[in-house]
Structure 1
Amino acid sequence: MTTSQEPMTTSQEPGTPRLTRRRFLHGSALTGAAAFLAACGTSGTGGASSSAATSGSPSTAPSTAPSGAPTEAPSSAAATAEASSAAPSETPAASPAAEINVANWPLYIDTDDDDSTKHKTLEDFKEKYGTTVNYSEVINDNEEFFGTIQPALRGGQDTGWDLIVVTDFMAARLIRLGWTETLDLANMPNKVANLQDVYKGVDYDPTDDHHAPWQSGMTGLGYDAEVTGPLTSLEALWTEDDRWTGKVTFLSEMRDTVGLAALRKGKDPSVITAADVDEAIADIKTAVDSGIVRAFMGNEYAEELVSGNVVLAMAWSGDVIAKQGEKESLVWTLPDEGGLLFTDNMLIPKGAANKSTAELFMDFVYDPAIAAQIAAWVNYVTPVKGAREVLAAEDSELADSPLIFPPEATLAKVKIFKTLTEAEETEYNDKFSVVTGN
């Protein structure tokens, strides 16, 4: 959808403070895009605590978890495999496990400026519960990651992960296949109290007991303004220009790339048809055949933007902000034609060794103070009530960030990709794979 609004970008006027994800840290399928606005300012309940968590490879350990009540927060100014017969995780014991294994995307949790292996949220969790979080940034693409866990899940085996973070369509698939644990919401008072209403009752988990949203974000344009100059339209991705031809990346996620291609032609991804998909894929092929597109990538494109191998990319909002500290000329913008809105979700794979401690961690990040700590660094949309009030008390600029709390004008320009049937997902992914070569 095209509007007359000025494009939303992450660049700022000279002399104004750059919005960073770090300043705050030192100080201390949705029902519709527009519904986000009403949820942004609500307060929630929870208590913060504030130590060495580590990154590491998956391991298995006994599972445990206590339950607790939330305290007051600041008041506010394409798989078709059959479902497996995996047994559910064991009944929890009396105390948290010594460690849990978490798989997430890169650039998706607060990180120490001087040591990229340190994450205050994980240190806070260990200090409070004694559990080390083996946190691994191993997810760059939903389908690729699904391929690594599918054999174990199909065979009824533990994947080695206690908690994974995947995008809404993949969450829907895993839940549909019966490959996720049912959450014990009695162990998760913060999640119950502080999940914003807009996230509740999604069609793939109407009882909200198989997933917990991690963050939401937008898909648009990321580019090196020093090379390309200012860009506002998706048309740039299909324009042969000496400044960027051969240095453009499209996303390896079918929904993102097909969705942006559809928006370029004025089509709405939330009601996309098979004919629209075919047209979008044909246009994507044209960009590839012309030599404009260098590659299809997951999160790797962010590093390529920093290196200069890529100067224009289909990009997720928070990733580009993450890299501005390394390259100030990087900009993320919501195109004139609009962008996409997505949600990444925490799930516990069926048969996980430490289910109840994973639930404890999920609930921990729904404490508004912890959620604010994460949101301030990642610059994605937080699903947690009360996080905005915490940010406002520490940094009014962050509390007003259009990336963390999108205004109505922004939300009017983003679309959520249509929920696909299993047959549609298989068909569209197969057609997309022909173009990407995967």
Structure 2
Amino acid sequence: MAVHSRRTLLKGLGGTAALVGLAGCGVPSARIGPGERAAPDRSARERALTFANWPLYIDTDDENASRRPTLDAFGERTGISVTYTEEINDNDEFFGKISPSLMNHQETGRDLVVISDWMCARFVRLGWVQEMDRSRQPNVTKYLDPLLRSPHFDRGRRFTVPWQSGITGIAYNRKQLGREIRQVSDLWADDLKGRVTLLSGLDEAFALLMQGDGVDITRWTGDDFHRVCDRVEKYVRNRHIRRFTGNDYIKDLESGDVLACQAYSGDVIQLQADKPEIEFVVPEEGAELWSESLMVPNLARHKANAEKLIDHYYDPEVAAELAAWVNYVCPVPAARDVLASAKDKETAALAEDPLIFPDDAMRARLAIARDITSKERPELAKRWNGVAGL
């Protein structure tokens, strides 16, 4: 199973600049006030909703790929039919697809969407998503992982709820390298020259590198960012860094061309099935915990139904079923006990995987980075894209 497109990367300042303008630097009318976000909710009389997600991000039946057991169970339990589309392949692309409607106070035709939290931050700032009614979401209230409850861009998670989470850390080939990697600074060791890659996307790369400097990424500054860029620039010039990648770092690791790289936990779990010598490490200085989150766009016709579906996925039994399929960090820690009691040994073993259910030692080293504000983004994107050669 491949789910590599979800952490899709910004490919240059052009697209970024357009988004920055919308986020408050040139199109002030783009922001929607709280009183203009809701439409009459048809949930009671129309037992339906439309849910837009990324490809391969939900459980499917082994014998019939058109069946999605956890989604089907929701329909059977509630009588609500879900139109499920796998239409999100890139955060920027999806932003471009639905932003004209949202900006012009028009409905998007979607009741529920999943995008990466750094992009969710933009939607929240623009007032393009509705506050959720937690009275319809007792499972979210009870079971949402405390680490994910209050990111910088959405204090108290009023507008967003994590679908799945993940860790940006370091992957390396222990067998080929012949030693352990424990810290971010280990990437710069002489025996790794020309065999290291970093992620090319600004939003994906910067936090882990700052953590290597001992920075608290929940409150990083511009100086912290430029200090990291200075160091990375040095390692680009002396060719220590082989290149900057999207998710194609996986191919480099598999081939042995690269021995260590920035990586996502979910990718490495999948890679380990064929290459057990590949290890994923949360550095001693810490790693970034990120999410892709569910949101209800403005003027959604079936808000209450969407909120019920979100809560369905926070039932530990349902969360466990989804986690066993997608292998990302589960935002419902209580799902661990469900998996641990599974009769199937392979399924039960997932409960012990710290990349799906981080243990206490790992959790203590995880943090959600403060997002890049619309005011900061032009300068930081220009600097990073120059360093990464984008």
Per the normalisation by structure 2, the TM-score is: 0.76
1:73 alignment counterpart: none
Give the counterpart of 1:110 among 32, 47, 59. 59
1:268 matched to 2:216? The reply is yes
Aligned residue pairs: how many? 358
CA contact (8 A) 1:372 1:390 kept: yes
Return closer, same or farther for 1:416/1:209 CA change in 2, 3 Å cut-off: closer
**Matches of 1:96 and 1:303 in 2, distance apart?**
46
| Between 174-183 and 251-260, the greater mean CA deviation after superposition | 251-260
Give the counterpart of 1:343 among 291, 294, 309. 291
**Matches of 2:385 and 2:161 in 1, distance apart?**
30
**Matches of 1:176 and 1:266 in 2, distance apart?**
29
Give the counterpart of 1:334 among 262, 282, 286. 282
1:356 matched to 2:308? The reply is no
Return closer, same or farther for 1:109/1:411 CA change in 2, 3 Å cut-off: same
Return closer, same or farther for 1:93/1:137 CA change in 2, 3 Å cut-off: closer
**Matches of 2:367 and 2:134 in 1, distance apart?**
30
2:84 alignment counterpart: 134
Structure whose residues are more often helix by fraction: 2
After superposition, what is the alpha-carbon deviation per residue over 1:110-132, rounded to whole angstroms, capped at 9, x for unaligned?
A: 35567766543233334444524
User: What one-letter code is carried by the residue in structure 2 that aligns with 1:400?
Assistant: E
1:88 alignment counterpart: 38
Return closer, same or farther for 1:300/1:359 CA change in 2, 3 Å cut-off: farther
CA contact (8 A) 1:217 1:343 kept: yes
Return closer, same or farther for 1:161/1:324 CA change in 2, 3 Å cut-off: farther
Return closer, same or farther for 1:349/1:228 CA change in 2, 3 Å cut-off: farther
1:259 alignment counterpart: 207
1:430 alignment counterpart: 382
Return closer, same or farther for 1:134/1:428 CA change in 2, 3 Å cut-off: same
Structure 2 runs not aligned, ≥5 long: 3-19
After superposition, what is the alpha-carbon deviation per residue over 1:133-173, rounded to whole angstroms, capped at 9, x for unaligned?
A: 42427345x45654444343223334454322234343233
1:295 CA drift (Å): 3.0
CA contact (8 A) 1:211 1:347 kept: yes
**Matches of 2:223 and 2:144 in 1, distance apart?**
37
Return closer, same or farther for 1:380/1:171 CA change in 2, 3 Å cut-off: same
Supply the RMSD in Å over aligned alpha carbons.
3.6
Return closer, same or farther for 1:95/1:285 CA change in 2, 3 Å cut-off: farther
CA contact (8 A) 1:101 1:160 kept: no
Give the counterpart of 2:268 among 310, 320, 323. 320
**Matches of 2:254 and 2:331 in 1, distance apart?**
29
Give the counterpart of 1:175 among 124, 138, 149. 124
| Between 393-402 and 367-376, the greater mean CA deviation after superposition | 393-402
CA contact (8 A) 2:52 2:88 kept: no
Give the counterpart of 1:413 among 365, 381, 389. 365
2:352 alignment counterpart: 400
1:251 CA drift (Å): 2.3
Return closer, same or farther for 1:260/1:207 CA change in 2, 3 Å cut-off: closer
**Matches of 1:304 and 1:151 in 2, distance apart?**
38
After superposition, what is the alpha-carbon deviation per residue over 1:275-324, rounded to whole angstroms, capped at 9, x for unaligned?
A: 22111122233344444333331x45446655767654311112210233
Other structure's SS at 1:271 match: coil
CA contact (8 A) 1:103 1:136 kept: yes
User: What one-letter code is carried by the residue in structure 2 that aligns with 1:348?
Assistant: V
1:333 CA drift (Å): 1.7
1:195 matched to 2:144? The reply is yes
Return closer, same or farther for 1:261/1:199 CA change in 2, 3 Å cut-off: closer
1:193 CA drift (Å): 3.8
**Matches of 2:370 and 2:107 in 1, distance apart?**
31
Other structure's SS at 1:92 match: coil
Return closer, same or farther for 1:259/1:201 CA change in 2, 3 Å cut-off: closer
Give the counterpart of 2:69 among 120, 133, 157. 120
User: What one-letter code is carried by the residue in structure 1 that aligns with 2:198?
Assistant: F
1:211 matched to 2:211? The reply is no
**Matches of 2:385 and 2:68 in 1, distance apart?**
36
Q: % of aligned pairs identical?
A: 35
**Matches of 2:388 and 2:359 in 1, distance apart?**
34
1:166 alignment counterpart: 115
**Matches of 1:313 and 1:137 in 2, distance apart?**
29
Structure 1 runs not aligned, ≥5 long: 1-19, 22-77
1:96 CA drift (Å): 5.4
